[in-house]
Amino acid sequence: MRLIQLNLLGTTAIRKKRKKIRFYITFAYICVWLFSIYTLFYIYKTNLFISTVYQKEIQKIHTDIASLRPKFANIDKLYQEKKTIEAKKSLYRQDFYRPGSWLDKMMALSRKIPENIRLEELSVNTKPDKGKGKEKIKLVGYTLIDREQQDVTQLNVFKRFLEDDGRFMEGLEKIEVLQGRIGKKGKDPVMTFVLGVY
């Protein structure tokens, strides 16, 4: 006769292991679920904080723009005034290059020439090349020298007369002596000169 052996303890051990495995799986699932909820809540709070910061920054920028609006209006006004002045300046320059303006200068020049100075050449260049130091007016002539006084300062006197004449110097900046040489004109001692007006 055979004896039937029952392994009751072994089955109980398997059941206990199954319960432990189920508990661990359930616990892990709950932990993952709780972690996911915490992560979502943290992301929500972080985004809410960032949104609040941005809203404050936007409000600050809006306030700054509102306070700067009068300054922008003033800048625009000054810019329009600058354009008007530039237009007038351009018109003035056009007037400066007209023959009538140069006629006034020539009249002023004729009144300032001393008795002992003779002009042999007068050339006008209303639009000289920039950056080359080209003169707008070139005066070539000579001054008679007094034998008794040996006076050679008449050229400087003539230059000073022109510099002091506001009508002649209008639109011009300076006068320079480009050349001065002592020589003779026939039997008379003279000093030839070249003046450049810029």
- Kindly give the parts of the chain with pLDDT less than 50: none
Q: State the pLDDT at residue 162.
A: 92
Q: State the pLDDT at residue 103.
A: 78
Q: State the pLDDT at residue 31.
A: 92
And the tokens for 92?
Answer: 């003035």
CA 3 from centre of chain: 111
Round to whole Å and give the CA distance between 191 and 152: 8
Q: State the pLDDT at residue 17.
A: 82
Helix (H, G, I), strand (E, B) or coil at 196: strand
